[in-house]
Amino acid sequence: MTETMPIAPWRQFTVEVRAVRRLSPSFVRVTFTGGDLDRFADNGYDQRIKLALPLPGQSRGRLPEGADWYAKWRALPEHLRNPVRTYTVRAVRPHLAEVDVDLVLHGDSGPATRWAGRVSVGDEIAILGPDAGYDGDHGGIEFRPSSAGRLLLAGDETAVPAISGICERLPLDARGTVVLEVPDAGDVLPLVAPPGMDVHWLARGADAHGSRLVPAVTAAAGELLAGGSAGATQPVADVDVDTGILWEVPDAVPPAPLYAWLAGEAGVIRTLRRHLVAERGLDRRAVAFMGYWRLGRADPA
């Protein structure tokens, strides 16, 4: 008798670019297709995936096969190791074998943004994503509001795809505030959200990252908490964002007046986390915060 191999939560999809659409000065949408993308799980919210990008001078991105792909990938010489970057799924259409990923364009500073600026129809890469055949929790979703009252979703341009995906799946009676800081006024994109979600797009122009986001989130927190605090202020262990990873997502959110989901530049997110927990007294278990990137540092793998 032949044993059936168990289905893993994630699998590698070999895909090619079907379409490239410039959404705004800073965003481009890439539509991927592939023979097995009908098996790509449509989990919505802020589902993370990994893209294996082409090496310089190539149009194909590949990952080693097998469950131990990461160890094999790490063991490769650097010049043979395809860059791997984390993104958020923007849309899944299994019936068409299509997946959309929105990419941020920000110069030529790393392999991801270089590829985003040059991607063409027909380019082939590998996507590590959730397998629809797996009937458990795939992982890679950090939005877990539980029984929290109102919502505060905030981030910079790198968080726009995730927050857009979250808002589309919220119940119609959801209430709260969305704050999105983007580079340019032309980067305001259509965003579907329940009527009780107050959405703010803020263009920072030539100003520093977080210059619009921090005061707007501070003001929104005051309004959502009725101008006061959620409880006793709590000490917050500082995180050196130059050496450590700023990423803390509670598994179980207790009853709380507010649930905050924050993502973007690590230094900015650290400031917002400190304000909500140490100054406003919001239970740290009701705050999900993720440093998607760090100013002045290369993209993490």
Q: What does the pLDDT look like over 30-85, one tens digit per residue? A: 999 999 999 999 999 999 999 999 888 777 888 888 888 889 999 999 888 999 99
Least confident of 100-114, 152-166, 241-255: 241-255
Whether the predicted pLDDT of 241 surpasses 50: no
Residue 227 has a pLDDT of 60
CATH architecture of 10-130: Beta Barrel (2.40)
Residue 79 has a pLDDT of 87
CB atoms closer than 10 angstroms to residue 43: 20
Residue 32 has a pLDDT of 98
Residue 6 has a pLDDT of 80
**How far apart (Å, rounded) are the C-alpha atoms in residues 286 and 123?**
41
Least confident of 114-118, 188-192, 273-277: 114-118
Mean pLDDT of 271-293: 93
Residue 50 and residue 127 in contact, taking contact as beta carbons nearer than 8 Å: yes
Whether the predicted pLDDT of 230 surpasses 90: no
Q: What is the token pair recorded at 130? A: 């959730």
Average pLDDT score, the chain: 89
Whether the predicted pLDDT of 17 surpasses 70: yes
State the first-to-last Cα distance of the chain, in angstroms, to the nearest integer.
Answer: 41
Sorted by where each begins, the domain ranges of the chain are 10-130, 150-293
On the question of a common fold for 10-130 and 150-293, the answer reads: no
Fold of 150-293: Rossmann fold (3.40.50)
Residue 91 has a pLDDT of 97
